[in-house]
Amino acid sequence: MTNCSCGPAEPAPRSRERRVDVLVVGGGVGGVAAAMAATRSGYSVMLTEETPWLGGQLTSQAVPPDEHPWIEETGCTRTYRRLRDTIRSHYRNHFPLTAEARSNPRLNPGAAYVSALAHEPRVAHASIETMLAPLRASGRLEVLHRRRPISAATDGDRVASVTLQDLEQGDESIVSAEYVLDATETGELLPLTGTEYVTGAESRADTGEPHAPKLADPLNMQAVSVCFALEHRAGEDHTIDRPESYGSWRDYRARFWPAPLLSWIAPDPQTLEPVERFLLPNPQPDPFFDGEAVPYQRGGDVDLWLFRRIAARRNFRDGFMTSDITLVNWPMIDYWLGPVFEVDVGTARSHLEGARALSLSFLYWMQTEAPRTDGGTGYPGLRLRPDVVGTNDGLAMAPYIRESRRIRARHTIAEQELAAEVRGPHGAARYEDSVGVGSYRIDLHPSTSGDTYIDIASVPFELPLGSLLPIRMRNLLPACKNIGTTHITNGCYRLHPVEWNVGEVAGLVAAFCLRAKIEPHGLGAGSESLEEFTGMIEREGIQRRWSDVIPPA
C-alpha cells in the first residue's frame, strides 16, 4: 500500500476512521449531483466540502448559471431540471413576487442577459439543501463541511482511503470507500492519489487542435475571478476603504488588453476589438420589463448592470427592494497573473489574495473614479451585499475556478470533435458510450501565460463515458471539471449543466459497478455492460443524444 501526501507529514491532532460505499470529495455542482445519484441508488455516501455552502459555481463561487438557449426544453438531465424548478419554487414560496412574475413558468428572478435563470447564490444554496434533505434524513447521505483532503493511501491501482482535515478543529478523518469521486474544484485528489493528470495547455502536436499552442504549457490556466454582489442606493455613500494595492491595479496594463484593467473598456471575446462597457444601476426604463430584451442576447455584456443581474426589483412587489442586485463577474476582475494551484502553497495563496485584491480595487474604482453615464464620476451608492454571498466581507466564499487538473482519460475530448469551424454541418462527434449532452461556445478567458480570449463557436455535443475513466486508476472517478478534456475543450465542458451531468453520471457509474460487481473500465464500447448501463441512466433521466432538430435559439 502506498501513501501519497500533499506535503511534509505533520502529527495529526486526532484521527478516526470511517467507511462508506462512495466518498465524494468536493461539494460543488458536480459533487452534489454525484452524491444525490449514488445515495438514491441505495448506497452509503459521504459528501465533503471545504466551504460552508454546497453548490460550487452556483453558491460559494457566486456565478449564475451559464446555460445554452434550449435549456428549458432539452439538453440537461432530469435532476438538473429539477434543480432549476426548485430554485423557481423557492422564489414563489418565500418571496413577494408580483402576480406576473409568480405566474410566469419561466421566471427569471434576475432578468439578466447571461441566463434564463439568473438568481441569488443564497437561493441556490437553499434549493440544494431542500433537494438533499430527504437523502440526509434517510441516513445514507452524510455531509461534512469545512473538510479538505490532505493525503490518500493507495493499493495498486485503487484508492484505499482519503484523509480529510477539519479546517476548524484540526482533526483528521481517514475515510475508506469502494469508490472515491473527485469533485474538488481543482482536482485535488489527483496528485494525492498518484492519478495521472494534466494541467494547462497541451501542444498542437499532442492534440491536433487548431487553437492549441505550438508548445505545451502546464502552468497556462484560465483566469480566476472573485465575484461579489452589489446593489445601488442613490444619494448614499458606501465607499469601501481604499485597498492597499489599489494604486498598482489602477496603473496595471496587460499587453493583450486594450486599456487599463480598471476601466470600462475590455476586448470583445470573439473579435478581440475594444468595447466600452457601461454601468447604469436600476435603469428606468428597464429593457427586460419595458422593451424586448431577452437572455442570451449577443452583446449583453456591454450593459454591465443587466449582464449578470441576479434580483430584479420589478419582479417583486412595490417597496420590497429598493435596488436590483447585480453580480460582478465581469472581464475587469479576471485575475491572470498566476495559477492558484499546481505551484508551491505560498505562491498559490499569494495569487488567491491577489484575485481578491483586484476585485476590491475594481469596486473602489467604480465607487470613486469610474466615468458615469451622466457625465459625472464614481458611484458611491454601490453597496456590497454580503448576505447574498454568505460572507462577512461581501466577496464570494471561493474564487470562480474555470480550469482544473484533468485526468489522463481513456478518451480525451479534442477541439476537432465539436468546433463548428471543423465540424461544419456534420455536428459534433457521436459516441457509442455517450452519457450526456451539453452546448456552449468554446469560451476560454485570458490565461496565466498571457494569452487573450479564445472564444469560438461549437456545435451541441455529447459526453463520452471514456472521458470519465482514468487510464489506470480503477475506483477513482472525476465528478466535475476534471474529466478528460483539453485546455481548449474545457472551455465548453466546464459550465453548470455539463458539470452537473458529469457528477451525476459519476455517481451512477459507482452505483452500477457496486451492484454489478464490475469495474468502470468494464463498461467498454460494445460490451453488454455498457448497453445495460446506458439503458439504466436513460431511465434515470440522463439525456444521451441531441434530437435531430434542436429548437431555435
C-alpha distances (whole Å) from 74 to each of 60, 205, 412, 428, 515 are: 27, 36, 25, 17, 30
C-alpha distances (whole Å) from 373 to each of 250, 267, 280, 377 are: 20, 20, 7, 9
C-alpha distances (whole Å) from 219 to each of 212, 255, 289, 448, 517 are: 14, 19, 45, 7, 39
pLDDT of amino acid 345:
61
pLDDT of amino acid 477:
98
pLDDT of amino acid 553:
47
Q: Are 484 and 410 in contact (CB under 8 A)?
A: yes
CA 371 to chain centroid: 32
Burial of 409 (0-12, 13-18, 19+ CB in 10 A): buried
Distance of alpha carbon 117 from alpha carbon 439, whole angstroms: 16
Residue-range domain boundaries for the chain: 2-202+403-539, 224-389
Q: How many CA atoms lie within 13 A of 208 on its CB side?
A: 7
pLDDT of amino acid 9:
54
Distance of alpha carbon 382 from alpha carbon 164, whole angstroms: 40
Instruction: Report the predicted TM-score, pTM, of the whole model to 2 decimal places.
Output: 0.96
CA 289 to chain centroid: 29
pLDDT of amino acid 117:
98
Distance of alpha carbon 305 from alpha carbon 214, whole angstroms: 39
pLDDT of amino acid 486:
98
Q: How many CA atoms lie within 13 A of 131 on its CB side?
A: 28
Q: Which of 549, 540, 546, 295 is nearest to 438 (CA)?
A: 546
E strands within 309-429? 309-311, 325-328, 334-335, 382-384, 406-407
A 10 A CB-CB count for 539 gives 9
Could you tell me which residues are beta bridge partners of residue 172?
Answer: 15, 165
Distance of alpha carbon 429 from alpha carbon 469, whole angstroms: 18
- Give the torsion through C-alpha atoms of 480, 482, 486, 492, to 10 deg: 10
The pLDDT tens digits along the chain (553 residues) read 655 544 455 554 566 899 999 999 999 999 999 999 999 999 999 999 999 999 999 999 999 999 999 999 999 999 999 999 999 999 999 999 999 999 999 999 999 999 999 999 999 999 999 999 999 999 999 999 999 999 999 999 999 999 999 999 999 999 999 999 999 999 999 999 999 999 999 999 999 999 999 999 999 999 999 999 999 999 999 999 999 999 999 999 999 999 999 999 999 999 999 999 999 999 999 999 999 899 999 899 999 999 999 999 999 999 999 999 999 999 999 999 999 987 656 789 999 999 999 999 999 999 999 999 999 999 999 999 999 999 999 999 999 999 999 999 999 999 999 999 999 999 999 999 999 999 999 999 999 999 999 999 999 999 999 999 999 999 999 999 999 999 999 999 999 999 999 999 999 999 999 999 999 999 987 889 999 999 999 999 999 999 865 654 4
Q: Which of 167, 165, 168 is nearest to 151 (CA)?
A: 165
Topology at the third CATH level for domain 2-202+403-539: FAD/NAD(P)-binding domain (3.50.50)
Place of cell 456545435: 459
Distance of alpha carbon 427 from alpha carbon 441, whole angstroms: 14
**Cis omega (within 30 of 0) on the bond before 210?**
no
Distance of alpha carbon 34 from alpha carbon 501, whole angstroms: 9
A 10 A CB-CB count for 494 gives 25
Length of the chain: 553
CA 480 to chain centroid: 8
Distance of alpha carbon 78 from alpha carbon 263, whole angstroms: 42
Place of cell 447574498: 388
Distance of alpha carbon 243 from alpha carbon 335, whole angstroms: 16
Q: Which residues contact 408 (CB under 8 A, 6 or more apart)?
A: 196, 197, 198, 470, 471, 484
Distance of alpha carbon 352 from alpha carbon 30, whole angstroms: 23
A 10 A CB-CB count for 215 gives 11
